[in-house]
Copies of this chain bind each other. A is one copy, B any other.
Amino acid sequence: MVTVHDVARVAGVSISTVSRALAAPERVAAATRARVQAAADALGYVPNRAASGLRAGRTSAVGLVVPDLENPYFASVTKGVQARARAAGLAVFVVDAEEDPHLEADLVASLAPQTDGLLLCSPRQDDAAVRDAAGRARVVLVNREVAGVPSVCTDHARGTELAIEHLRALGHARVAVVGGPERSWSQERRADGVRRAVERFDDLDVVELGAYRPHVDGGYSAADAAVATGATAVLAFNDLQALGLVRRLAGRGIRVPDDVSVVGCDDTFVAGLAATPLTTVRTDLRGMGATAVDLLADLLRPGNEPEAPRVVLPAELVVRASTADAPRVLVPSPAVAP
């Protein structure tokens, strides 16, 4: 390993000059600076981050905690975080909490001391756990809000409203809304959106269905309940759920969008993947990750301790093939097998 000492020896200066020449070039004579630079290049000197971090009391690393890396939602957020962090000179420790709040708490505790700050995607964790995390490290929440903790999230209420508005415009008179995990933050924001839509449109019937897993299987399970409500359109909790819905419907011979329209949420890459691309509520997920890094970087700037900012990113509707005009006749419930 090449150290400042090696560079100093080759350049014929002291280690302090080397350090300065590299960190604050203007405080060193041009000729000296050039010699140091040359020596450093020749030797392939790279500062040891552990050492400078030890000295400076920071690590230049941040931690990102997500519930599931295989969920395309978090994959995109991670991608955004990663790109912006690189630009900001921060390394990113990524950990997958396996959708387990306990594991997540452990990870936060072990990650906190070895990073300058944490980015948390914690849809299920309760407020107390999040506050505890915020007490251990600088924390920025992603798609979650807790009083006093900086956060970036999507305007889910508005997104939900947009989706319902869209379905109403297509002539749907009854819309089923499939719920996500009960205690999840975005589930509650979505409920706000439903409430607002219900208040605005008295010609529209919105039926909320109980909690289903925010994965393909959840949608698969919710499909029958959705159809049984007599709704001609279904709003899923996310894109994966929407795909599960479509699949179960197809299995029952119910066509999307001819018989039933389906709307997803998040516009993850899977929305455009299926044979019938999903109409969905879009959020800039990479942008969300990038913004979270910006917030954290601000917090880390020495002397900065601003009031916990809350950024709310807009939601917009992306119309694709999975929604169409409401059918003239309701889908008949298939006869119960004898």
Contact = CB atoms under 8 A, between A and B. Distances in A.
Interface residues of A, number: 47
B75 A69 contact: yes
Listed residue (A1, A51, A72) with the most chain B CB atoms within 10 angstroms of its CB: A72
Interface of chain A, helix or strand or loop or mixed?
A: helix
A213 interface: no
Interface stretch (A19-27, A33-41, A79-87, A327-335): A79-87
Contact of A50 (B46, B53, B68, B95): B53
B275 A276 contact: yes
A92 interface: yes
Nearest to A276: B275
Contacts of A269: 70
Listed residue (A111, A240, A269) with the most chain B CB atoms within 10 angstroms of its CB: A269
Listed residue (A48, A54, A94) with the most chain B CB atoms within 10 angstroms of its CB: A94
A78 B94 contact: yes
Contacts of A54: 48, 50-51, 54
Contact of A86 (B50, B95, B114): B95
Contacts of A94: 78, 82, 92-94
Nearest to A79: B69
Contacts of A270: 270, 273
Contacts of A216: 272-273
A261 interface: no
A113 interface: yes
A51 to B, nearest CB: 5
The 6 closest A-B pairs by CB, nearest first: A94-B94, A50-B54, A46-B113, A50-B53, A69-B79, A50-B50
